[in-house]
């Protein structure tokens, strides 16, 4: 079975960076965290979240791992269950926007009142695009096994980006994930190579 723990991912990333690894040794966790977010942006990772509605309140904190909002399902069941002329049919449902502050916040287009909440329930459920979790606890890493090399490839690209700031004129080497071919060049050149390869494979 493929080891998807954070420790195993860190080891494989360090090994792939060869001699360059010692130059970013204290940033391995950060490199993988950035890669996990970027992977989830291009290979959408969907989760279901919810907030508990309060009458007259239209703003709620979003999940900490939210990258982008997708769609809510509050009131959808009742719309399928009841006819349009039934008084229990929810004619108007709120739309959602998300602000990009810290924390992100969910803004409803209107604050549901007590009557609407009593009809549809206080749990406002929605789907959203989330960043991945990387963990040493078995089963908690959310990156699929078949996207493991893609994650590490993006982490390699991020490592080269870091090195391009500190060691712009140096020549470094790294093994390209998936193919295993050793690439040699300036960090900026390898960053472009790895990022281009990541984007190409992510689009497949």
Taking only the tens place, the pLDDT of each residue in 147-183 is 999 999 999 999 999 999 888 888 888 887 777 778 8
Confidence of residue 40 (pLDDT cuts 50, 70, 90): very high
> Average model confidence (pLDDT) for the chain?
92
Residue with tokens 């001699």: 19
Confidence of residue 1 (pLDDT cuts 50, 70, 90): confident
- pLDDT tens track for 91-103: 999 999 999 888 8
Full-model pTM: 0.80
Collapsing DSSP to helix, strand or coil, 162 comes out as helix
Cα 180 to Cα 86: distance, rounded to the nearest angstrom: 63
Predicted local confidence at residue 27, as pLDDT:
93
Cα 5 to Cα 171: distance, rounded to the nearest angstrom: 31
Q: How far is C-alpha 21 from the geometric centre of its chain's CA atoms?
A: 25
Average pLDDT score over residue span 129-145: 93
- pLDDT tens track for 122-136: 999 999 999 999 999
Helices (H) and strands (E) in the chain, counts: 6, 8
Q: Domain spans of the chain? A: 6-43+144-202, 46-130
Task: For residue 105, list its beta bridge partners.
Answer: 61, 99
Higher-pLDDT residue of 2 and 133 is 133
| Under 8 Å between Cβ of 23 and 14 | no
Predicted local confidence at residue 195, as pLDDT:
95
Confidence of residue 145 (pLDDT cuts 50, 70, 90): very high
Confidence of residue 64 (pLDDT cuts 50, 70, 90): very high
Confidence of residue 204 (pLDDT cuts 50, 70, 90): confident
**Statement: residue 107 has pLDDT above 80:** yes
């Amino acid at each position: 079975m493929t080891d998807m723990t954070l420790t195993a991912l860190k080891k494989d990333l360090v090994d792939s960076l060869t001699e360059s690894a010692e130059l970013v040794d204290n940033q391995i966790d950060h490199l993988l965290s950035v890669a996990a977010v970027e992977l989830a942006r291009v290979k959408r990772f969907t989760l279901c979240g919810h907030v508990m509605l309060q009458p007259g309140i239209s703003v709620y904190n979003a999940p900490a791992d939210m990258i982008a909002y997708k769609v809510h399902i509050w009131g959808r069941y009742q719309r399928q269950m009841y006819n349009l002329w039934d008084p229990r049919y929810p004619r108007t449902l709120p739309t959602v926007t998300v602000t990009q502050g810290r924390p992100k916040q969910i803004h409803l287009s209107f604050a549901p009142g007590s009557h609407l909440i009593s009809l549809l329930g206080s749990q406002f459920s929605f789907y959203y695009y989330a960043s991945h979790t990387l963990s040493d606890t078995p089963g908690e890493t959310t990156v699929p096994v078949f996207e493991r090399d893609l994650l590490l490839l993006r982490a390699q690209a991020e490592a080269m980006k870091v090195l391009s700031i500190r060691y712009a004129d140096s020549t470094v080497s790294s093994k390209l994930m998936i193919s295993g071919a050793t690439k040699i060049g300036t960090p900026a050149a390898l960053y472009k190579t790895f990022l281009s390869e990541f984007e190409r494979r992510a689009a497949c």
